[in-house]
Amino acid sequence: MKMFGYWDALYFVYAFIIGLIISYILMKWGEKASMGTRRVGAGTKVYLSGEDEDEVIPNFEHIQGYFIGRHVMWGLIRGINRVFIAFRREHTGLLTDYVSYLLITVAIILGVLIVWG
Amino acid sequence: MNLLPFLIIVPLFGAFSMPLISFLGKRVRDMWAVVISAVTLGIAINVFYTIWKTNQIIVYTLGDTTPLGKGVSFPIRIVWEVDLLGALIAVTIAFVSLLAIIYSLEYMKHDTGLDKYYTLILILELGMLGIVITGDMFNFYVFLEIMSIASYALVAFRNDTWEGIEAGIKYMFVGSLASSFILLGVALLYGQYGTLTMAYLSQYITREPTFVSKVALAFILCGLLFKSGAVPVHMWLADAHPAAPSSISAMLSGLVIKAGGVYAIARILFSVYSISLNIRTLGWIIIFFACLTLIVGNAMAVVQTDMKRLFAFSSVGQIGYILLGIGIGLAAYGTDVGHVALAGAIYHTVNHAIMKALLFLVAGAVLHEVGTKNLNELSGLARRMPLTSFAFLVGAAAIVGMPPLNGFASKWLIYESSALYNPFLAAIAILGTAFCTAAYIRVLFTFFGKESEKVKVAKDPGKVMIVPMVLLIIAIIIMGLLPWQINDSIMLPTARMLEESGEYVLAVLGG
């Protein structure tokens, strides 16, 4: 089956641009979430473990002020982890929790079905 | 001869004869499990080929030749109704189950109570097969429970650790809750319409779409989203799947969440509700849960340190893609975009079953040889277990969606259709893949990193465990090299058959 017309490729450009914007927001989030990372100023350091409280890492002085992919990757992992930890605090693990998740799901579906179904 | 009933009879006979066969010795018992599952695969292929060739839905009535009652024009008996989708999933179930059983021969060698293990694994298989062939709501529920109860027991099969028992009990409690939601939905439909045959229900609901039918759908859909591991009802999956023996994890992640989850969602929405309710709304409900699922599932995978838990969360993420395909298939019903999205979802269902089975078998091999699944302790495994690492590499590349492997073909169809339907959805799908890639790259770096103390004595497992992995690798590569042929000859006709709910109804009611 042929899906594409000549101009339909533009959809991908569109999707790509939205992807870029989302990636940029994620990158900013990752950057912020990677602890101790500052791009300028005295505290700038290469990001290694995320737990490092040192101002400057010995032998890595030459990369001071640069912001590398590892910052983002670690920041992303850390950021996601923090979000989920926040959720986990609300989760007791009791059966009532699961009942409430199921009921919320039913409520969402039923609400949408009643209004637009 | 119609072989359809044997799809249930053979594994049922195999399961219940297993305790007797076990008296003949361990080897006979093991061979019996392999033979039974191989015969089941043969039957599933035959059923699929028959439907594919004739392009006709097979209807089988239990205890009679016609589903209609004597002197009345409506069905009164339990009906099994198989279209291409049901048959395709049945082949996938039988194929992966056979490989899981072969793998178990060595993997479970040191465990005791294996007669119970093989009995349960065959019951699990027959439960799933029943779900994909039935055309009756209550029969569907019964098979769903057969499948679920077998999987609760299998998760807790290794009862020497607390992990398995805790996960098994948790899975059982919350799984039963979800099942009761489904049962409540089925009861509401029966109370309102007085029938359980899906085809007849579809006709009835179309004629009289009541509020009760919507409430019933909400309960059933919620239960099925739970069974498929969709967010926000996915919590059980990440505990249950890693705690099971790896051969069972392969079946749970590869098959159970497909047969009891996404297949059932597609069947009920397309075959029962698609005409009576606003199909766009139905589509957007599924798309909403799909987007949540594919972001949360893949993002959670990134932060895991337990390899099997990472794979389990990745399953949640991949279910998101399948749901996205189904959702767009509904929302863009009747257009090429919807058609391709649905074909992509079906393709990805089969692909993910194969890829995830391979990855869990790899995890099993690692656990078997090294004794840990903690990623922090598995560094440098590739040098000691080259074959297993290669299998992981293929599985991970396929699940991330690298061409020319099978994951690329199906994900491409989903990206393509979502980009055309709504570019924002495509961006979300691609974002999910970015997380998925990050998660698997972490495992890859672990495998190919500096050798740690723990892996120094590891070696590749024996042939019996390697063979299923090799077969799955071959399947991944073949399905990846012939994507358009498979798509044109199998997936698109399957999607078309699922979309034509009128034919599904007519196959039972005649006319």
Confidence of residue A6 (pLDDT cuts 50, 70, 90): low
Tokens representing residue B437 in the block = 């890639």
Give A34's pLDDT tier (boundaries 50, 70, 90): low
Q: Calculate mean pLDDT across residues B405-411.
A: 87
Biggest distance spanned by C-alpha atoms of chain A: 64
Q: B233 and A101 in contact by Cβ < 8 A?
A: yes
pLDDT at A4: 53
pLDDT > 50? residue A40: no
Q: What percent of chain B has pLDDT over 70?
A: 100
Task: Give the per-residue pLDDT at B458.
Answer: 80
Q: Evaluate whether A55 touches A65 at the Cβ level (below 8 Å).
A: no
A98 vs B contacts (CB less than 8 Å): 173-174, 177, 233, 235-236
Q: How many Cβ contacts (< 8 angstroms) between chains A and B?
A: 112
Q: Which residues of A touch B499 (CB under 8 A)?
A: none
Percent of chain B's residues with pLDDT above 90: 49
Apex CA B215: angle with CA B496 and CA B170, to 5°? 90
Distance CA B57, CA B504 (A): 7
Q: Which of B139-153, B365-379, B477-491 has the highest mean pLDDT?
A: B139-153
Q: What is the pLDDT of residue B376?
A: 81
More confidently predicted of B340 and B453:
B340
Interface test mutation site (partner A, options B184, B188, B222, max chain A beta carbons within 10 A): B222
- What are B422-442's pLDDT values in tens digits? 888 888 888 888 888 888 888
Mean pLDDT confidence for B73-85: 86
Residue in A13, A18, A73, A94 to test binding to B, most B beta-carbons within 10 Å: A18
pLDDT at residue A43 greater than cutoff 50? no
- Using the beta-carbon criterion (under 8 Å), do A80 and B300 form an inter-chain contact? yes
| Contact (CB<8Å) B426/A113 | no
Confirm if B146 and B126 have CB atoms less than 8 A apart: yes
Tell me the average pLDDT across B272-279. 87
What is the mean predicted confidence (pLDDT) over B296-307? 88
Contact B416 A110 (CB under 8 A): no
Above 60 in pLDDT, residue B462? yes
| Distance between start and end Cα atoms, chain A | 31
Higher-scoring residue by pLDDT: B262, A54: B262
CA A26/CA A28 separation, integer angstroms: 5
Average pLDDT rounded to a whole number, residues B313-326 = 94
Distance (Å) from the alpha carbon of B316 to chain A's nearest alpha carbon: 15
Within 13 A of A86's CA, how many CA atoms are on the CB side? Answer: 5
Which pLDDT band, with edges at 50, 70 and 90, does A37 fall under?
very low
pLDDT band, very low/low/confident/very high, at B91 (cuts 50, 70, 90): very high
Q: B105 is written with which tokens?
A: 């021969």
- Rounded Cα distance between B367 and B130, Å, is 32
Q: Residue A5's pLDDT is what?
A: 57
CB spacing of B278 vs A116 below 8 angstroms: yes
Which value, in Å, is the radius of gyration of the alpha carbons in chain B? 22
Give the model's confidence band at A3: pLDDT under 50 very low, under 70 low, under 90 confident, else very high.
Answer: low
Q: How far is A67 from chain B (nearest CA, A)?
A: 19
State the average pLDDT over residues B10-24. 92
Contact B302 A3 (CB under 8 A): no
The residue ranges of every structural domain in chain B are: 6-509
Q: Which residues contact A51 (CB under 8 A, 6 or more apart)?
A: A35
pLDDT reading at A83 higher than 50: yes
- Put simply, the answer to whether B177 touches A102 (Cβ < 8 Å) is yes
Which DSSP letter does residue B454 get? G
Q: Which residue of B has its CA nearest to A26?
A: B431
Residue B73 has pLDDT above 80, yes or no: no
Fill in the amino acid letter for A89.
Answer: R
- Average model confidence (pLDDT) across chain B: 89
pLDDT of residue B266: 93
Q: Provide the token pair at B265.
A: 């969602």
Question: Could you please report the per-residue DSSP string of B64-77?
Answer: SS-SBPTTSSSB-S
Q: What's the confidence (pLDDT) of residue A11?
A: 64
Q: Quick one: which H or E segment has residue B180?
A: helix B162-193
Residues of chain B neighbouring A81 (CB-CB closer than 8 A): 303
Chain A: give the shortest CA distance to residue B260, in Å.
Answer: 17
Average pLDDT over residues B293-308: 88
Question: Do you find a cis peptide bond into B403, omega within 30 degrees of 0?
Answer: no
More confident residue, A35 or B180: B180
Closest-CA residue to B133 (of B163, B165, B99, B88): B88
pLDDT per residue as tens digits for the range B217-255: 999 999 999 999 998 888 888 888 888 899 999 999 889
pLDDT per residue over B166-216, tens digit each?
Answer: 888 889 998 999 999 999 999 999 999 888 999 889 988 988 888 899 999
Q: Is the pLDDT of residue A53 over 50?
A: no
Q: Which residue's entry shows tokens 């099993």?
A: B364
- Per-residue model confidence (pLDDT) at position B506: 86
Identity of the amino acid at A99: V
Which of the two residues, B78 and A63, has the higher pLDDT score? B78
Interface with B, mutate which of A7, A72, A97, A109 (most B CBs under 10 A) = A109
For the residues B10-35, what does the mean pLDDT come to?
92
Contact between chains at A15 and B430 (C-beta distance less than 8 A): yes
Whether the Cβ atoms of residue B259 and residue B78 lie closer than 8 Å to each other:
no
b/e sequence B275-288, b meaning 16+ C-beta within 10 Å: bbbebebbbbbbbe
pLDDT mean over B117-124: 94
Measured distance CA(B328)–CA(B305) in Å, rounded: 34
Of residues B218, B225, B427, nearest to A113 (C-beta): B218
Tens digits of residue pLDDT in B252-261:
988 999 998 9
Inform me whether the pLDDT recorded for A47 exceeds 60.
no
Give the Cβ contact number of residue A6 at 10 Å.
6
CA distance B259 to B263: 5
> What was the pLDDT predicted at B404?
82
* Chain B residues inside the 8 Å CB shell of A23: 431, 434
CB contact under 8 A, A95 and B430: no
**Contact (Cβ atoms closer than 8 angstroms) between residue B364 and residue B253:** no
Q: Hey, are the CB atoms on B218 and A106 less than 8 Å from each other?
A: yes
Query: How far is B115 from B425, CA to CA, in rounded Å?
Result: 48
Rounded average pLDDT over B134-152: 93
Contact B426 A22 (CB under 8 A): no
Model ipTM?
0.85
CA–CA dist B136, B195 (Å, integer): 9
Given a cut of 90, is residue B500 above it in pLDDT?
A: no
What chain B residue is nearest to A18 in terms of C-alpha separation? B427
Does pLDDT of A68 surpass 70? no
Q: What is the mean pLDDT of residues B458-480?
A: 89
What pLDDT does B454 receive?
Answer: 79
